Amino acid sequence: MAETRQWRLESRPVGEPTHENFDLVTVERPEPGPGEVLVKTVYQSVDPYMRGRMRDAESYAEPWAVGEPMKAGVVGEVLESNADEFEPGDVVTGELLWAEHAVADADELRTVDPDLGPISTALGVLGMPGVTAYWGLHDIGDPTPGDTVVVSAAAGAVGSVVGQLARLNGARVVGTAGSDEKTAWLTDELGFDAAVNYTETDDLGDAMAAACPDGVDVYFDNVGGPITDAVWPLLNDHSRVAVCGQISLYNATEVPTGPRKLATLIETRARVEGFLVSDYEDRWGEALERLSRFIRADELHYREHVVDGFENAPDAFLGLFEGENIGKQLVRVADYDGDSSVQNGS
């Protein structure tokens, strides 16, 4: 029988995840049952939120079980279909497995249109990170022209879209990132008004204040920790903080502590709100339609950092916490012939 490979959770990490937490196993390739589809993975996503799934704690999502294959956003090709909606050769995306092949119910999959762009974008700018950026910025951050918008992890899959959308909205945009290569990309290619390399400042608070002379009206927070501490004192009256992620804290082994922040909200009447892209399920299409229009108009640029080979998926995941990626971090698991050429992968 045909075989496939899966990455399973070998053990729960304490602090920073390591290769020890992952186990590559070869198993029989599953066969689709009635209404199911067999998908060959072409690209697998790795995302910061996955660190939470490795934890044995109640969260908005079930934790991954030790000894079981992990889940991931996947773009792949349909190999076999027992569902009317799909036929072999279709490109689909969905929440599948860290696996070379997986079966899924037809209603767990969306069709990917290869004419909209490289199919990998269904995991990035035209997928979960893009939709996260779109609704988090517009629904929670709600920038108006002239506002100063700060986004942390601005060179990441979500942050890079947030900043460009905010600019399209008429805001002044400041990003934080962890290398000069990243900040150069933000200002030179994505049109950010300013970018701060937080690894190179003497005083992050001063650096942020200098980059935001009119204070901060919207803070899109992907990072938390000291970067957020530096932005907080700059919040303007009636400013909005959209809490999307806190990657700087995900590997903490003790409860992270820091300056207490709530008193600032009284003076400023600022609003701080967390959100999950899953709450925007019924507005997903609206975001994709707008994002793809911006891409076609060359107003929205993106990058992908592709790690080749399924066996390197843990490396790609661990790299997120090292800040190795510019743009969307992906694993290329198999070749795909349908992409005409990389479009706008600036």
Minimum CB–partner distance for residue 227 and a copy of itself (Å): 12
Rounded CA-CA distance 215/292 in Å is: 32
Binders of a copy of itself among 41-80, rule CB under 8 A?
Answer: 59-60
Gyration radius from the chain CA atoms: 20
Between 169 and 228, whose beta carbon lies closer to a copy of itself?
228
Binders of a copy of itself among 200-229, rule CB under 8 A?
Answer: 221, 224-225, 228
> Stretches 64-72, 75-83, 187-195, 266-274: which one binds a copy of itself (CB under 8 A)?
266-274
Rounded CA-CA distance 314/201 in Å is: 31
| Parallel, antiparallel or unpaired: strands 172-177 and 148-151 | parallel
Choosing from 15, 33, 89, 256, the residue that interacts with a copy of itself (CB under 8 A) is 256
Minimum CB–partner distance for residue 295 and a copy of itself (Å): 27
Between 258 and 309, whose beta carbon lies closer to a copy of itself?
258
Nearest to 292 by CA among 73, 172, 91, 122: 122
Between 1 and 263, whose beta carbon lies closer to a copy of itself?
263
Choosing from 115, 266, 335, 341, the residue that interacts with a copy of itself (CB under 8 A) is 266
Minimum CB–partner distance for residue 221 and a copy of itself (Å): 7
What 3-state DSSP class applies to 129? helix
Question: Contact at 8 Å (CB) between 31 and 4?
Answer: no
Between 193 and 221, whose beta carbon lies closer to a copy of itself?
221
Query: Is 246 one of the binding residues for a copy of itself (CB under 8 A)?
Result: yes
Rounded CA-CA distance 14/252 in Å is: 8
Containing 284, the helix (H) or strand (E) segment is: helix 284-296
Ordered alpha helix ranges (H), 92-224: 128-135, 159-168, 180-184, 204-211
Nearest to 245 by CA among 221, 279, 218: 221
Question: Contact at 8 Å (CB) between 328 and 129?
Answer: yes
Interaction mask 269-298, a copy of itself, x per CB under 8 A: xxxxxxxx--x-------------------
Binders of a copy of itself among 104-123, rule CB under 8 A?
Answer: none
Between 263 and 297, whose beta carbon lies closer to a copy of itself?
263
Between 3 and 273, whose beta carbon lies closer to a copy of itself?
273
Rounded CA-CA distance 321/9 in Å is: 18
Choosing from 99, 104, 154, 244, the residue that interacts with a copy of itself (CB under 8 A) is 244
**For residue 141, what is the DSSP state?**
I
> Stretches 1-9, 151-159, 248-256, 304-312: which one binds a copy of itself (CB under 8 A)?
248-256
Between 32 and 159, whose beta carbon lies closer to a copy of itself?
159
> Stretches 20-28, 264-272, 284-292, 334-342: which one binds a copy of itself (CB under 8 A)?
264-272
Choosing from 1, 34, 115, 263, the residue that interacts with a copy of itself (CB under 8 A) is 263
Please state, in angstroms and as integers, the Cα–Cα distance from residue 38 to each residue in 4, 101, 114, 225, following that order: 12, 7, 19, 42
Please tell me the count of residues contacting a copy of itself according to CB under 8 A: 34
Burial 269-294 (b: 16+ CB within 10 A, else e): ebebeebebeebeeebeebbebbbeb
Rounded CA-CA distance 167/177 in Å is: 18
Residue ranges in contact with a copy of itself by CB under 8 A: 59-60, 221, 224-225, 228, 243-246, 249, 255-276, 279
